[in-house]
Amino acid sequence: MPNTAAAPLTIAVLGAAGRMGSTVCEAVENAADLVLGPRLDVGDDVATLAGSGASVAVDFTVPSATEANVHALIDAGLHAVVGTTGWTEESLGRVRSHLAEDGRGLGVLIAPNFALSAVLAMRFAAQAARYFESAEVIELHHPNKVDAPSGTAVHTARAIAAARAEAGLAAGPDATETSLDGARGAVVDGVHVHAVRLRGLVAHEEVLFGNPGEQLTIRTDSFERSSFMPGVLLAARAVPEHPGLTVGLDGYLDLG
């Protein structure tokens, strides 16, 4: 929904020179109801955003910087939309506490993936998880990606694990003895996650489910970073209306 408030929302961008940050700047500039505010990169002080006219900041930086950025944004009185990966239950908890202590009703959205196809894939995977003996996640990305496994894959695996636990499912069958470390990928809450890095890829994920005699594959593909922009802009417009911490864009969508 476009922002129809009297004053257009001014959006600051952190990591503005990066692959995602530069795409966000372009998308904001092309949105009639939004104004592009300060663009921050390495070495810029987030505190300068206080009084800059920006009310929302979008962060696509690096996992090692994003938590400090969010705390600084809260101190500066800005709502935050965060796509950067690397969040843990502990770091999310610290943001939740900071927002409660701050008491100004600021909103923070932290989402591992803003592409609608990925949001739906995560939702469908969580729904399917209870019905299959086996579940594994394969994420496939461009080779310049700094982290592995992807934030989306971690989020997907955690959701599958939670749904399996709720349904009382035991660990998936696996009698393999590995002769090389890493052969079975990383294990996130009991779910195996495999990371592929390949030139030509952008951002992709397959969630594999298996039962005797049948399989289900859920796949999402982002071929271009433009795929993330409708979700980022939706979040930037909506975050002032969602005080507190929200994890996942589905928290702003009516997915039923």
Ligand X SMILES: O=C(O)C1=N[C@H](C(=O)O)C[C@H](O)C1
Ligand Y SMILES: NC(=O)C1=CN([C@@H]2O[C@H](COP(=O)(O)OP(=O)(O)OC[C@H]3O[C@@H](n4cnc5c(N)ncnc54)[C@H](OP(=O)(O)O)[C@@H]3O)[C@@H](O)[C@H]2O)C=CC1
Q: Least CB distance from residue 228 to ligand X, whole Å?
A: 7
Q: Choose among ligand Y, ligand X, none what residue 40 binds, the Cβ cut-off being 5 to 8 Å by kind.
A: ligand Y
Question: What secondary structure, in 3-state letters, does 43-94 show?
Answer: CCCHHHHCCCCCCEEEECCCHHHHHHHHHHHHHHCCEEEECCCCCCHHHHHH
Q: Least CB distance from residue 83 to ligand X, whole Å?
A: 7
Whether 86 contacts 151, CB under 8 Å = yes
Is 141 marked active-site?
yes
Stretch that binds ligand X, among 51-59, 146-154, 163-171, 233-241 (CB under 6 A): 146-154
Is 145 marked active-site?
yes
Q: Choose among ligand Y, ligand X, none what residue 41 binds, the Cβ cut-off being 5 to 8 Å by kind.
A: ligand Y
Q: Least CB distance from residue 145 to ligand X, whole Å?
A: 4
DSSP 114: -
Q: Does 151 bind ligand X (CB under 6 A)?
A: yes
Q: Does 194 bind ligand X (CB under 6 A)?
A: no
Laid out side by side, the sheet with 244-247 consists of: 34-40, 9-14, 56-59, 79-82, 107-110, 244-247
Q: Does 66 bind ligand X (CB under 6 A)?
A: no
Catalytic residue among 71, 141, 194, 204: 141
Q: Does 65 bind ligand Y (CB under 6 A)?
A: yes
Q: Determine whether the annotation assigns residue 142 to a binding site.
A: yes
- How far is residue 228's CA from residue 118's CA, in Å, rounded to a whole number? 10
- How far is residue 254's CA from residue 238's CA, in Å, rounded to a whole number? 13
The CA distances from residue 172 to 62, 94, 131, 133, 155, in Å, are 33, 33, 12, 5, 19
The site for ligand X, by CB under 6 A, has a size of 9
- 60 burial (CB, 10 Å; 0-12 / 13-18 / 19+) is buried
* Residues ≥6 apart with Cβ < 8 Å to 237: 1, 2, 3, 9, 33, 34
Q: Least CB distance from residue 196 to ligand X, whole Å?
A: 12
Please pick, from the candidates 15, 38, 112, 231, the single residue that binds ligand X as defined by CB under 6 A.
112
Q: Does 17 bind ligand Y (CB under 6 A)?
A: yes
Residues that bind ligand X (CB under 6 A): 85, 112-113, 141, 145, 150-152, 203
Annotated binding site for (S)-2,3,4,5-tetrahydrodipicolinate: 142, 151-152
Q: Which residues bind ligand Y (CB under 6 A)?
A: 14-15, 17-21, 40-42, 60-63, 65, 83-85, 111-114, 151, 228
Q: Which residues are catalytic?
A: 141, 145
